[in-house]
Amino acid sequence: MAQRWIWILWPGFVLAIPAVGIAFTLLDPEELHALGAPLAMSRLGAYSLGFLFFWALGAACSALTCLLQRSPFEVNRCPLPAAGRPEGCPKREELGCG
């Protein structure tokens, strides 16, 4: 599980560095407008939030990859141990599931 967190957070972090670098080289936050009003924050604040935004975007992308690359086998697996499944569950008798 810890490795899955790495797969989700780390690539986004690495990509956020050039992304924020390129974005704010081309754009000066002091000249930016959001919803018609100038940004009410320091440049440092805008860079920092920009970085966190790109990081979140990258992490979301990696999370989606993680979600989609799971095999049907992993998706179908019941999280409950066999004994803890509700009565009548067809998988209740199955051994080794969960």
User: By CB under 8 A, is residue 95 in contact with other proteins?
Assistant: yes
Sign of the four-CA dihedral 56, 13, 19, 58? negative
Residues 8, 2: contact at Cβ < 8 Å?
A: no
User: By CB under 8 A, is residue 1 in contact with other proteins?
Assistant: yes
Distance, in Å, from the CA atom of 78 to the CA atom of 92, rounded to the nearest integer, reads 10
Residue number with CB closer to other proteins (35 or 71): 71
User: What character string, x for contact with other proteins (CB under 8 A) and - otherwise, covers 37-76?
Assistant: -----xxxx-xx------------------------x---
CB of 60 to other proteins, least distance (A): 19
Residues 93, 82: contact at Cβ < 8 Å?
A: yes
